[in-house]
Structure 1
């Protein structure tokens, strides 16, 4: 697989390429007090369009920002001026936080060339590179969506894994939430984890808003008992940082990785879903 990351130097060199589309995929945790769209309008990387993770989503479920249907995704991103044949570079305002979620969505929907800007907007700004304000309007494009179902896991697939262990579930939440020692940020959800899963907190995979080098990521996964040669499913609170772990796994060399889209918001909210606590 190609390297799913690009550097700020690479982006600066290719920023005006006609086939390149830059996406601000910023998203913040509920209760953060930050409005990613308002921040985008106040200042963003040159030419970037804004991808609203909560709006380009399945509206038939109460679960947050679930994948929409391919047809809905194609309509929404086509309206942003994005074609499936474009070179798509995704960034966010934290570094590498919500951008991997949108990278994963585009990969799942069949986009051919999708990358994440390592370090995101903070690194770009720290290097004194240009930004601009206001909304970018691109001509509508045709995005031909082709769902890659092997990149997505649903509740029943993951439930089967608690028995079969055919795929390893890697949980991106903090160790305290995984062990059931800290409350979930979404009210009413129990704490704990999917039985048989292992914990690799997404926050351990980055330094100063950038993904750690491949060798360091490999060591972190190995220490957690993650065999990169096995089929893997990543999970988190609502599918955001699970995508960060999926990106890190790709950089580390894993080849078969799916994201559990509903993640703990779905699992913890399902009556009868088995819940484990403690470190294992």
Structure 2
């Protein structure tokens, strides 16, 4: 299964025994994923299940969206009826393109075949496909998800400090230019404005066309080049809290690169009084 499906591709495989479709919509400031869940119940792809992405985080971390332990992730997937060998298709209705975050976690924990629905639910509806309404019941048949973490896809605060000191990796920040420059306040209390020294700004929105679909690989490569990013050199993605950094990571793989994600991102770096911070454009 290719990593990006259009609505017709998904319609052609829906109902096959090993296909799992997950709505992974996530909004900022959405307590307990209530808004995202309501939207799912108002209309979703038939057969899809809702995965509360906001709850799929490390319960022992003070940060909003850090990676959960492998056993926590495996249990959550198994309860959803998802196995690591299944073909897993992800979609969302979020301006954050949160399906990329779920793709990154699933891929990191060893899922064999994960794809995004290009354009999300809006593209599905625009193509004339039907929606189902209402909640889904508990999964009757648990999946078998064996988590095998690939930590090469992850960067910690200590590791990013090392990259800044050594200059051995490009740090790519997915936030808006205003937040990157420190000209706009941060949405979370206690987090200073600015960016990690040496970081390069590539807003995640530049990887999408106006209709919300992913740009072609050639256009993604051009966006990387315009920002001054060389995909042939080591890269690390960062953002506000680890969500849109995963958009850059998926974009990098679309053009043959591999971009680990700094999971704590600016929420961790910007709230740590010991880290250096830059505020220039």
SS at match of 1:124: helix
Query: Is the CA contact 2:119–2:213 (under 8 Å) kept in the aligned structure 1?
Result: yes
Q: Counterpart of 2:224? A: 221
Q: Which residue of 2 aligns with 1:189?
A: 191
1:268 Cα deviation after fit:
0.5
Distance 1:158 1:3 in 2: 31
SS in 1 for 2:279: coil
Residue in 2 aligned with 1:198?
A: 200
Query: How many angstroms apart in 2 are the aligned matches of 1:55 and 1:48?
Result: 18
The answer as to whether partners of 2:242 and 2:263 remain within 8 angstroms in 1 is yes
Q: 1:12 and 1:261 mapped to 2: Cα distance?
A: 33
| 1:234-260 per-position Cα deviation (integer Å, ceiling 9, x unaligned) | 000001100011111111221x31011
Normalised by the length of structure 2, the TM-score is 0.95
Equivalent position of 1:18 in the other structure: 17
Alpha-carbon RMSD: 1.7
Decide which moves more: 26-35 or 142-151: 26-35
* Structure 2 partner of 1:235: 238
Q: What does residue 50 of structure 1 align with?
A: 50
1:81 paired with 2:81, answer: yes
Please identify runs of 4+ aligned residues in structure 1 that moved more than 2 A: 31-34, 134-138
More off after superposition, 100-109 vs 176-185: 176-185
Q: What SS does the aligned partner of 1:66 have?
A: coil
- For 1:143, the equivalent position in structure 2 comes to 145
Deviation sequence 1:37-85 (CA, Å, 0-9, x none): 1111222111111111111211101101211111110011100000000
- Provide TM-score, normalisation by structure 1: 0.95
SS at match of 1:257: coil
Distance in 2 (CA, whole Å) between partners of 1:277 and 1:4 is 36
The question of whether the paired residues in 1 share the 8 Å contact of 2:30 and 2:36 is answered with no
Do 2:26 and 2:96's aligned partners in 1 also have CA atoms closer than 8 Å?
A: no
Q: Distance in 2 between matches of 1:45 and 1:221?
A: 33
| Match of residue 252 from structure 1 | 255
Q: SS in structure 1 opposite 2:20? A: strand
What SS does the aligned partner of 2:107 have?
helix
Does the residue aligned with 2:89 lie in a helix, a strand or coil? strand
Q: Which runs of 5+ in 2 are unaligned?
A: none
> For the Cα contact (< 8 Å) 1:99–1:116, is it kept in 2?
yes
Q: Distance in 2 between matches of 1:34 and 1:8?
A: 26
Gaps (5+ residues) in structure 1? none
SS at match of 2:149: coil
Aligned length: 277
Structure 1 SS opposite 2:90: strand
Tell me which residue corresponds to 1:108.
Answer: 108
Q: Is the 1:95–1:123 contact (alpha carbons within 8 Å) kept by the matching residues of 2?
A: no
**CA-to-aligned-CA distance 1:105-127 (integer Å, 9 cap, x gap):** 00010000011111000110122
- Displacement after TM superposition at 1:3 (Å): 4.5
Contact 1:161–1:167 (8 Å) recurs in 2: yes
| Cα deviation code 1:85-144 (max 9, x no counterpart) | 000011001377000000000001000001111100011012221111233343111100
Note if contact 1:94-1:121 (Cα within 8 Å) is conserved in structure 2: no
Instruction: State the alpha-carbon separation in 1 of the partners of residues 2 and 265 from structure 2.
Output: 26
SS of aligned partner of 1:22: strand
The answer to whether the 8 Å contact 1:152/1:261 transfers is: yes
